[in-house]
Amino acid sequence: MSIEILPARLANQIAAGEVVERPASVVKELVENSIDAGATRIQIDIERGGHKLIRIRDNGAGIVKDELTLALSRHATSKLKTLDDLECISSLGFRGEALASISSVSRLTLSSKPADQETAWQAFAEGRDMTVQIQPTAHPDGTTIEVKDLFFNTPARRKFLRTEKTEFSHIDELIKRIALSRFDLALTLTHNQKVIRQFRARPDPYSVERVAQVAGKVFAQQASFVESGHDGLKLYGWVLPVGCSNQTQYTYVNGRMMRDKLILHAIRQAFEETAGAVDTPGFVIYLELDPTQVDVNVHPAKHEVRFHQARLIHDFIVQAVKQVVLSERPELPLSDSG
Ligand code: ADP
Ligand code: MG
């Protein structure tokens, strides 16, 4: 067989395998783009669990006409210029892969208008080479991305889509996680034209109302607030007392939602050392540290991070969470390691 360069669409479809697993992963990438664009209001409309339509509208910075083609191209990003930037990345995205990947496995249109532009423009990519077509459109300041017929041209992926209900529940869960990542965002989620969730922007970062909206009133009433920090490390959030059965377990690192093994392990250890081997009850925990101390470029979907001083961070989390578990159960003996 001769060696040939893959056509753009095929190359993008292969890359899509890493970031676009299901409708919820599309929603994650698009909402994160809206957040990176400085949006304060994001509307997420879903039809048929995202099989048919995923539409994200934001009031962010928008994209100028001349950059629409680039936005849909692979390895094109406005968020990163040098390797050094990667060392202290503060945006949620930086790989420049999402729009190219998603548009290679769906019918994607991108409409946008920066506030200082007269006209809004719409773009979509077509064919094997993904040539971008551009036309004028009507659109308020900000961006709308519509993703129709996800995986229509990749039957192998489509086969793995679950029922509408299951796919929507993944999206709903994701939006709840995002709602707790940024209290100042106004978010609306609709499914088949019905409003499912609505979060009003909250000026204070510790809004227990929003926690109640996501994790339930009982969680918000029973959880203790924890706050701890030293040497540039900060941890805060809510932790349920032992014996409560709410399974909300959300963690964030520098505003990015995570399912990081080290963090989860440290939290579990804190409970084990104070309350014995118990099922870890619910928590919503935020960790903040110098961005140069954490590598987010470990996983394409950025679920995990790598801490430069893993041991230190682990111990810090254990100590901080132990404090709050002990305060919730004053009758428990203090362990000598604490
Ligand atoms: P990345 O987020 O890694 O940069 P993407 O493929 O997700 O890559 O997006 C490519 C580029 O398109 C972004 O860097 C950004 O400049 C632009 N972009 C995407 N979505 C939006 C949006 N909602 N508002 C403004 N610009 C956007
Ligand atoms: Mg992105």
Does 215 sit in the ligand 1 pocket, CB within 6 Å?
A: no
Does 41 sit in the ligand 1 pocket, CB within 6 Å?
A: no
Q: Which ipTM value was assigned to this complex?
A: 0.99
Overall fold of domain 8-199: Heat Shock Protein 90 (3.30.565)
Overall fold of domain 210-328: Ribosomal Protein S5; domain 2 (3.30.230)
User: Residues with Cβ within 5 Å of ion ligand 2?
Assistant: 33, 93, 98
Task: Using the mean position of ligand 2's atoms as its centre, give its distance from the Cα of residue 163 in Å.
Answer: 26
- Ligand lying nearest the CA atom of residue 145: 1
Q: pLDDT tens digits, the chain, 338 residues: what are they?
A: 899 998 999 999 988 888 899 999 999 999 999 999 999 999 999 999 999 999 999 999 999 999 999 999 988 898 888 888 888 788 888 888 999 999 999 999 999 999 999 999 999 998 888 999 999 999 999 999 999 999 999 998 999 999 999 999 999 999 999 999 999 999 999 999 999 999 999 988 788 999 999 999 999 999 999 999 988 999 999 999 888 878 899 999 999 998 889 999 999 999 999 988 788 889 999 999 998 899 887 777 677 889 999 999 999 999 999 998 888 765 545 444 43
pTM (predicted TM-score): 0.92
* Domain boundaries along the sequence of the chain: 8-199, 210-328
Does 61 sit in the ligand 1 pocket, CB within 6 Å?
A: yes
Nearest CA to ligand 1 atom 13: 77
Cβ atoms of 74 and 180 within 8 Å: the answer is no
